[in-house]
Amino acid sequence: MSLPSRYWREIPQRYRLEAYKCQNCGAVHFPPRLVCSKCQSRKMEKIRLSGRGQIVSFTIIRVPPHQFEDQAPYAVGLAELEEGIKLTAQIVDCPFEELKTGMKVKVEFRKVFQQGESGILCYGYKFVPE
């Protein structure tokens, strides 16, 4: 089991969708990275993602890792946000038969899973239909 520092250092990204925008080429990076993967510039500014986008691909996980056993089956998708970047998260509040690529989603703050026997709650973002 990891110490809490591993969890809280990701909070700005997971709770507030903080990303970096390259000041040289304009590429947006989520999660933030120190060097731009498009132009190698190190000049970044902090931005917050709009949280609006559409589903590029999705699947339904029927055989989950152990920390998600109580949630299966659940949908996970890739969504492309307005800023042109993609991220991976669960798609919730949507019956499986209504899932489709191109569907508009917004990113909401939710509980993601419960860690270990002590039941520490791990939060983050999920996609919900718009």
Partner 1 sequence: MRDVAVMGVGMTKWGELWEKSLRNIFVETALQALDDAGIDKIDSMHVGSMSSGLFVGQEHIASLLTDYLGVNPIPCSRVETACASGGLALRTGFMEVACGMSDVVLVGGIEKMTDVSGSEATYALGSAADQEYEGYHGITFPGLYALIAKAHMEKYNTTREQLAQVAVKNHSNGSLNPLAQFPFKVTVDKVLNSVMIADPLRILDCSPITDGAAAAILCPVDMVKQKGKPVIKVTGSGHATDSIALAHRDDITWLEATYQAGKKAYGMADKKPQDIDVLEVHDCFTIAEICVLEALGIVEKGKGGEAVEKGLSSLDGKIPVNTSGGLKAKGHPVGATGIAQVIEIVKQLRGEGEKRQVKDARVGMTQNMGGSGGSTLVHIFEKE
Which residue lies nearer to partner 1 by CB, 47 or 114? 114
The Cα 29–Cα 58 span in angstroms is 21
Closest separation in Å from C-beta 111 to partner 1: 12
Name the token pair of 54. 């559409």
Verify binding: residue 87, partner 1, rule CB under 8 A: yes
The Cα 93–Cα 110 span in angstroms is 12
The Cα 7–Cα 114 span in angstroms is 13
The Cα 35–Cα 24 span in angstroms is 11
Positive or negative, the CA dihedral 66, 96, 101, 52 is: negative
Which residue lies nearer to partner 1 by CB, 49 or 77? 77
Pick one of 41, 56, 82, 104: the residue that binds partner 1 (CB under 8 A).
Answer: 56
Pick one of 17, 22, 77, 105: the residue that binds partner 1 (CB under 8 A).
Answer: 77
Using an 8 Å Cβ cutoff, are 14 and 30 in contact?
Answer: no
Verify binding: residue 68, partner 1, rule CB under 8 A: yes
Pick one of 18, 64, 106, 128: the residue that binds partner 1 (CB under 8 A).
Answer: 64
Q: 12-71: which residues touch Zn ion (CB under 5 A)?
A: 22, 24-25, 27, 36, 38-39, 41
Point out which residues bind partner 1 (CB under 8 A). Answer: 10, 31, 37, 56-69, 71, 74, 76-78, 86-90, 101, 112-113, 122, 124, 126
